[in-house]
Amino acid sequence: PLEVPVGTRVRIDGRASRPLSRAELVAEGGGDAAPAAAFERRGAEFSGSFVPRRSGTYGWRFTDADGGGAELTLALPRSATS
């Protein structure tokens, strides 16, 4: 898991396994509650910022264009110093 202090802005750019209709971060135990962050979508790609307002664990909620689930592919850019 990624741990960041409350109030830290985290920029996320990602790509799912197929085109998305929804890409969100939700607080663990939040069920169908409003997402902690909803991301812009362009096909299978998504992007946006997240600022945690409270400590806790957050999970992904993805829905593909057909209403099913979708998986996340993580791609970490190389550091300019590496």
Confidence class of residue 82 from pLDDT cuts 50, 70 and 90? very low
Confidence class of residue 3 from pLDDT cuts 50, 70 and 90? confident
> How far is it, in rounded angstroms, from Cα 77 to Cα 63?
25
> How far is it, in rounded angstroms, from Cα 46 to Cα 19?
10
Q: How do residues 25-62 score in pLDDT, each as one tens digit?
A: 888 776 667 888 999 999 999 999 999 888 888 888 89
Q: In sequence order, which residues have a C-beta less than 8 Å from that of residue 75 and are 6 or more positions away? A: 14, 15
Contact 23, 42 (CB under 8 A): no
Residue 8 φ/ψ region, left for φ over 0, alpha for ψ in the -120 to 50 degree band, beta for the rest: beta
